[in-house]
């Protein structure tokens, strides 16, 4: 996906989701939403013990809930952060899926139980910690897309091996044909740019 799609604010994306009219444009906006937040939602589901097929169901449930809420929706960061709002929607979808899996309850009861469990989980420190961990990973994934667009394949490979995988400087410089000084410079440039992008993303959340 083009970098400009990743750098548009989530408020802009939410506004596009709620637009009336062109179904093709709304479809593209929903595709961008899944591309941006799908892995975040799936990761949070896995932390709650859901299997891959169940996480896909939860994602669809989240999209359905948001599609119903978006028409006329106006995002106001003064009311609350988007990530908190999204966590509430995802938790409800997760517990709805878990209640359905247990069986023996009609749809109305499932929704009521899921709502109650989601409210309880929203105030749970362990749940909050899991969500924050997934959100940090989300920021890193988004920032790495900018890195992919701005740095050469060689520099990214060096950064991944040395800064992420923790391979020795000697091995990386030997394999990649660069000096120790160049390796340190590459790591410094990419690390600094990652920090800048993540900081901008955090500020943009409101």
Structural domain boundaries of the chain? 3-123
Q: Do residues 6 and 145 lie in contact, with contact meaning Cβ atoms separated by under 8 Å?
A: yes
Place of tokens 């000084």: 181
Convert the pLDDT of each residue in 105-146 to its tens digit.
555 566 677 666 666 677 788 888 999 999 999 999 999 999
**The pLDDT value given to residue 143:** 93
CA separation for the pair 57, 118 (Å, rounded) = 17
How far from the centroid of its chain's Cα atoms is residue 201's Cα? Answer: 12
Q: Do residues 169 and 180 lie in contact, with contact meaning Cβ atoms separated by under 8 Å?
A: yes
- Give the mean pLDDT of the chain: 83
Q: Is the pLDDT of residue 3 over 50?
A: no
Written as six digits, the tokens of 85 are: 């709002």
Does this model's pTM top 0.85?
no
Written as six digits, the tokens of 68 are: 């119903």
**The pLDDT value given to residue 5:** 42
Element at 156 (helix H, strand E): helix 153-159
The Cβ of residue 95 has, within 10 Å, a number of other Cβ atoms equal to 23
CA separation for the pair 120, 106 (Å, rounded) = 21
Mean pLDDT lowest among 52-61, 81-90, 181-190:
81-90
**The pLDDT value given to residue 55:** 93
């Amino acid at each position: 996906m083009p970098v400009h799609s990743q750098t548009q604010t989530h408020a802009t994306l939410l506004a596009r989701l709620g637009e009336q009219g062109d179904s093709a444009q709304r479809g593209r906006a929903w595709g961008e939403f899944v591309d941006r937040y799908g892995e975040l939602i799936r990761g949070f589901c896995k932390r709650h013990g859901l299997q891959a097929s169940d996480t896909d169901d939860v994602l669809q449930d989240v999209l359905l809930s948001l599609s119903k809420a978006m028409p006329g929706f106006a995002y106001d960061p003064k009311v609350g952060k988007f990530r908190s709002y999204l966590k509430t929607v995802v938790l409800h979808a997760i517990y709805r899926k878990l209640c359905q899996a247990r069986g023996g309850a009609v749809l109305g009861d499932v929704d009521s139980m899921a709502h109650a469990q989601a409210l309880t989980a929203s105030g749970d420190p362990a749940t909050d910690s899991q969500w924050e961990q997934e959100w940090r990973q989300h920021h890193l994934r988004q920032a790495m897309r900018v890195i992919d667009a701005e740095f050469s394949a060689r520099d990214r490979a060096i950064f991944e091996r040395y800064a992420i995988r923790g391979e020795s400087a000697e091995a990386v410089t030997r394999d990649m044909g660069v000096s120790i000084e160049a390796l340190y410079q590459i790591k410094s440039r990419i690390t600094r740019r990652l920090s800048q992008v993540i900081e901008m993303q955090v500020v943009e959340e409101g």
